[in-house]
Structure 1
Amino acid sequence: MVKTPGTEAPPRPTTPHRQAPSPLEEHLRTLAGQVPDPELPVITLAELGVLRDVRLTSPDHAQVDLTPTYTGCPALQNMATDVEHTLHTAGITHVTVRTVLTPPWTTDDITPDGLRKLADFGIAPPRPQHTTGPITISLGPTRTDTPPPACPHCGSTDTELLSRFSSTACKALHRCLNCREPFDHFKEL
């Protein structure tokens, strides 16, 4: 079951009050984390950083927290269904998948293996943001990639933006001016 944003319970505290995961919870987290992203099957939910928590609420009930890459992500329902199926196959009778929006997902949540897999797949990975605290927002012209992303095929940074949106809203379409190959760039958030 996927709960819609705004109806989810507050996230479980990550303070010392949260007990360390049991070996079974760790195993279930590993299984859920191995589920491929429905839009980018080359990367898993754990590598994408959208799998936030897996915990047992009773011996036969697991609660899974997913944070979408952006609000309204159309792949979220598929992710939840795939996670439910995976945990059912592992013997968990009841699985609840919650959409958790806090803390928000950013491209910094993608693991180093995930970034490498995106590049190997021909998608320019997002550049690290490493921002902490409040983010200042100023209105102005639409931001274009400065500096441009490196081509995942030849490594050149002599690239141009063809479209701010590609096969999914979280990617932009670019072309390398060196090797002339088009490529997707996973947008930084």
Structure 2
Amino acid sequence: MTAIQFQLTPQAIWAALDTVPDPEIPVVSVTDMGMVRDVQIGEDGAVTVTFTPTFSGCPALHVIRDSIGQAVRDLGASAVEVKSTLTPPWTTDWIKEDARERLRQYGIAPPAPAEDGLIQLQADATRCPRCASFDVRMTGSFGPTLCKRLYVCDSCKEPFEGFKSV
């Protein structure tokens, strides 16, 4: 067995994907966010990775696709295909629990659990990621990315972003 064949195990590929940062939130990986859905290794060593973007119109899709492909090629895959799927649609419930804490430490309020798999039009009670107060107000329904809202904490006076629950 060659070193390349040894490296191309599903576990090695998942470990490599654990190091691919979300291009918009570098403290979490694409696997932390629950975007990577499947890894397949063909008999010829070709790898197919399937991921679900957080939003279908995400402007970072090409960066995510390229980064996933590069991480797998770095393991020595003979060929890599990175496919995206919208079924089932991504949900904030797929974000790993430890990643939620890293989001909070980074200054982004993690999302509440999604209800019924639908985008919530009414914002849930949001806690300030800096001082933990619920005395916050939304200042913008649309943040720098489609998946976040803008808030200001009336306790510590700090602005912050909060994930929408989807």
TM-score (norm 1): 0.79
- Looking at secondary structure, tell me which structure has more strand per residue: 2
Q: State the secondary structure of the residue aligned to 2:42.
A: strand
The one-letter amino acid of 1:162's match is T
Distance 1:101 1:167, change over 3 A: same
Q: State the secondary structure of the residue aligned to 1:52.
A: strand
Name the counterpart of 2:123: 145
Deviation at 1:130, TM superposition (A): 5.6
1:4-153 maps to which residues of 2 (within 5 A)? 24-129=9-114, 131=116, 143-147=121-125, 149-153=126-130
1:29/1:53 contact within 8 Å kept: no
Deviation at 1:57, TM superposition (A): 2.1
The one-letter amino acid of 1:105's match is W
Deviation at 1:146, TM superposition (A): 3.8
Name the counterpart of 2:158: 181
1:155 equivalent in alignment to 2:132: yes
More displaced, 176-185 or 80-89?
A: 80-89
The one-letter amino acid of 1:98's match is K
Q: State the secondary structure of the residue aligned to 2:39.
A: strand
Q: State the secondary structure of the residue aligned to 2:137.
A: strand
Deviation at 1:102, TM superposition (A): 1.2
Q: What CA distance in whole angstroms lies between the structure 1 residues aligned with 2:122 and 2:138?
A: 8
Shift >6 Å, 4+ stretches: none
Name the counterpart of 2:143: 166
Query: CA-atom RMSD, angstroms?
Result: 1.8
Deviation at 1:143, TM superposition (A): 3.3
1:108-140 deviation per Cα after TM superposition (whole angstroms, max 9, x unaligned)? 0000011111001000000112647xx6x9xxx
Q: May I ask how many residue pairs the two structures share in their alignment?
A: 159
1:108/1:130 contact within 8 Å kept: no
TM-score (norm 2): 0.89
Q: What CA distance in whole angstroms lies between the structure 2 residues aligned with 1:101 and 1:144?
A: 24
Give percent identity, aligned residues only.
Answer: 36
